[in-house]
Structure 1
Amino acid sequence: MIRYGNLRWMLLFLLLVEGNANSLFNSPILTADASYNSYKFNILHHLTAISPYFESDTNELNPGLPIGCTVDKVVYLVRHGSIYANDYDYEHTIDPFLKRFQSSLSQIDFSRSQEFAFLQSWNSPISDPNEQLEKLTKSGRLEAFHLGTQLAYRYRNIIPDNLDASFKIWASSSNRTKQSASSILSGLSGKEKTVDDVSLINEEKNQGANTLSPTKTCSKFNISSGSEQANIWLEHYTSSIITRLNNRISGFQFSANDILAMQELCGYETVIRGSSPFCQIFTSDEWLSFEYYFDIKYYYSFGYGSYLSASLGMPWVVASSELLNETVTTNQNLYINVVHREMLPLVLTALDLYNDSNENPTFPLDRINYRRAWRSSQFVPFLGHIALERLQCASSSYNGKFIRILVNSAPQPLPGCEKGPGASCPLTQFMDYIKNRDDLHDDFSKACQVNYENSTDVFTFFP
């Protein structure tokens, strides 16, 4: 189906299909002693929204098609590929550490410590913040292209042999989402594409719910939500790390912010350079504490800890569900939206996935809840994605249409709606489920208390 018009794209295709986009990075693995050979801790799988893309099938459900089923329509929500750094992370955490580090080089000999010897000759991977912040890395473009080629083979029965201008892919109007969408489209079509081929959705506040960036159009949303709770945990978990590292390097006096910055640099430097010496400074327990910090933050800003989350995610869920429920035949049966990190947890909250029991506190701030369901590394890595597949099945066991949800290609059963093949949900039951979820929450305008004219409570970009 895919025809490559020049050698450069063919070589790129072969590079990616031979392995996967993750093979671009050196995975830092922590192990136990020789008597625990099976313990392998991959740091890159615990960096939450700074993780390179990976698949985590905790349910161990088969992501392949159930016997007797085909996919006849599917909707994808995809986060953009890896970037040099998020502007908030850089300005509030990483840059203050870099400035402290640079000013201390003339007074402190970092080479006297094995962990920090690299700092004597190390330079920041973010050399030009004005040009690099929020921009895709080279690996980010490759990750997006690779996803496009995967989808081209996964859904070859519903993708036209030659994608023309009538095939739409939607993206938020920022640079990183536009370029990610263009690279995905290149992988799908086997042709070089540009952002001009992508349908852009405005991020201005007067879009109301008719956007892929609802946190920017919701008057009540506060980006600092969750910071208070997360910072309590930050001070708690970094105290022992600070003591340990201050004993290794005298004179620098590490702070909680320094610890967070070095852990963030592990992820950002890896997606920029392929690896980072910062990754090996911390133990597996300390990485789990870092992961817990962002889980807390995202839970209270984009998840079940905020009354806004489901109201912000539901317009896209309702529009996608209605699209999957349509019986009219169209020329397009694969729909892809490319978005920012926050959109994925908003949608998962609307769907009631990764939800914890109310019997115990989800996020105590003086210890890690190791049994929690809400683990952001599993759903918001770079290029993380949610798929709603409509299955058409005809077998001795199942007959009819079903909806299966994939998160980073791993099936995720809906609570109480998993009677179909591969723990999918019968289409009619799925539509009832979505209506019930929608009825539980305020519509967008009421939840956000919008103060601008001509707001809307629905997402209408799908044809």
Structure 2
Amino acid sequence: MTVLLSGRHFGLLPRLASEINSTSRILFSESQQFWGPYTPYYPVEEYQQPPIGCSITQASTLLQRHGARYPTSGASKRIQRSLQKLLNASKYTDMKLEFLRSYQWHLGVADLVPLGSTQSFHSGAEIYHRYSHLVDDHMLPFVRASGGDRVVMSAVNWTAGFADASRQLYHPSVSVIISEADTSNNTLKNSMCPNSRASKNETNTWRDIFSPSIVHRLNTAAVGAEILSQDIPELMSLCAFETVSEEKESQFCDLFSLQEFQAYEHYQDLQKYYMTGYGNPLGRVQGVGYVNELLARLKGTPVEDHTQTNTTLDSSPITFPLDRTVYADFSHDDEMVAIYSALGLFPQTHPPSSTEASPQSTWVVSRLVPFSGRMITEKMQCFEAGIPRDFIRILINDEIQPLAFCGAGDGLCGLEAFVDSQIYARHNGDGDFEKCFLE
């Protein structure tokens, strides 16, 4: 695991807070915005201040994915199996593959890479500068993390960035770490629905449409490699993992065109849609517990939930306070997709096509849950005819969500209307949670 201490990481000094807005998107490759969940964080839009007559009273809540990491153990094994086919080739007929003659595997497993540490540090600094008016000695952010090492370290790095931006005046700590054991109730990790089954049919259909030309090209360039369709997404992900690890463009990126990475993005879009998104009948229910925690914070009332919440933690003002102005939770991409779906964000009239990619699609994983991707729910007070009312707005990677399900579609939603709109969560998933355990 990787930790930033005093703003440094093995000699790497994170960018000054004043530079963050201009450097939020680190450019390694033209294709990086099409790496799906392995895309480095970038703001989809420039942050917009609240409308005139409105002021933020509570930044509730920052929900953030861990920073850039090495591949997980399962992904690492799949990538290396596909890579070995290229390494076993009897000869290379394309100069782009010559680097493989001396190539050696050097990636770690699952832990944060230095870039991942810096991403979280920058996020902490950015949140401080944006919401510093909500913070004082007696009102520090309340920080929780799911128990995976990369998630906990992302939370730690975030607190360091927050403290650094405040010139060490305010140093929040990670107050709650929620176990990721299969038997643990955890609203920050999708591990409580054993009957959830992600369909791979749609993803594989699209893979088998976009990959044959790549398979033919690589097998021609690497004689005897015997690359198959299922190897292509693994090799394309290696481009992303090596790039974020080394902070320079991997030579594997040169093996694929920009259009092919666009097809790879759609492959990842389909995968998440049918993993914990709307395409899985038991996908969105895995985000219900978190949504009910969010509603409790917004209303300042105890959590009402009978799904994933840990009642011991959530019933205590020490481990689940309701009086803070800034909250920060650290999680995983699959859980965040479930939460977006439970909230009703990014609704789809029709499922993403498994036979073609649409440039008009709003279900784009690199924009939903990139490395260090984040959702911010802002509670604000606005005056209408001189009367104050509470509103909320939700930003995903700084893009304001329309919230048409509870407002005029302009991104502002009355607090009561927003709470009322969350029927699925308030009804504990309308019976879907029980289906997670039916035999």
Aligned to 1:141: 117
Shift of 1:26: 4.2
Contact 1:353/1:415, CA 8 A, preserved across alignment: no
Contact 2:285/2:342, CA 8 A, preserved across alignment: yes
Shift of 1:67: 1.7
CA distance in structure 2 between the partners assigned to 1:63 and 1:345 by the alignment: 24
**Structure 2 stretches of 5 or more lacking a match?**
303-320
Q: Deviations over 1:28-53 (max 9, x none)?
A: 22xxxxxxxxxxxxx11111111111
**TM-score between the two structures when normalised by the length of structure 1:** 0.80
Quick check: 1:100 aligned with 2:85?
A: yes
Q: Deviations over 1:84-142 (max 9, x none)?
A: 112222122x11023223333xx32x3x413223323433341xxxxx21100011111
Q: In the alignment, residue 200 of structure 1 is paired with which amino acid?
A: I
CA distance in structure 1 between the partners assigned to 2:238 and 2:104 by the alignment: 12
Aligned to 2:188: 212
CA distance in structure 1 between the partners assigned to 2:21 and 2:99 by the alignment: 29
Q: Secondary structure at the match of 2:281?
A: coil
Q: Return 328-337 or 152-161, whichever deviates more.
A: 328-337
Contact 1:182/1:198, CA 8 A, preserved across alignment: no
CA distance in structure 1 between the partners assigned to 2:25 and 2:355 by the alignment: 37
**Structure 1 stretches of 5 or more lacking a match?**
30-42, 127-131, 452-463
Q: In the alignment, residue 84 of structure 1 is paired with which amino acid?
A: Y
CA distance in structure 2 between the partners assigned to 1:25 and 1:119 by the alignment: 27
Quick check: 1:430 aligned with 2:406?
A: no
Aligned positions of 1:8-407 closer than 5 A: 12-15=13-16, 17-19=18-20, 25-29=26-30, 43-57=31-45, 63-73=48-58, 74-92=60-78, 94-104=79-89, 107-108=90-91, 110=92, 112-126=93-107, 132-161=108-137, 167-190=141-164, 197-208=174-185, 210-213=186-189, 215-222=190-197, 225-274=198-247, 275-326=249-300, 332-358=324-350, 362-394=351-383, 399-407=388-396
CA distance in structure 2 between the partners assigned to 1:416 and 1:331 by the alignment: 27
Shift of 1:185: 1.0
**TM-score between the two structures when normalised by the length of structure 2:** 0.84
CA distance in structure 1 between the partners assigned to 2:250 and 2:265 by the alignment: 18
CA distance in structure 2 between the partners assigned to 1:160 and 1:170 by the alignment: 19
Shift of 1:445: 4.2
Q: Deviations over 1:347-377 (max 9, x none)?
A: 111111112114xxx2333322443321111
Shift of 1:194: 11
Q: Percent identity?
A: 26
Q: Secondary structure at the match of 1:232?
A: helix
CA distance in structure 2 between the partners assigned to 1:318 and 1:228 by the alignment: 32
Quick check: 1:418 aligned with 2:407?
A: yes
The count of aligned residue pairs is: 411
Shift of 1:54: 1.2
Distance 1:390-1:49 versus aligned 2 partners, 3 A rule: same
Q: Secondary structure at the match of 2:327?
A: strand
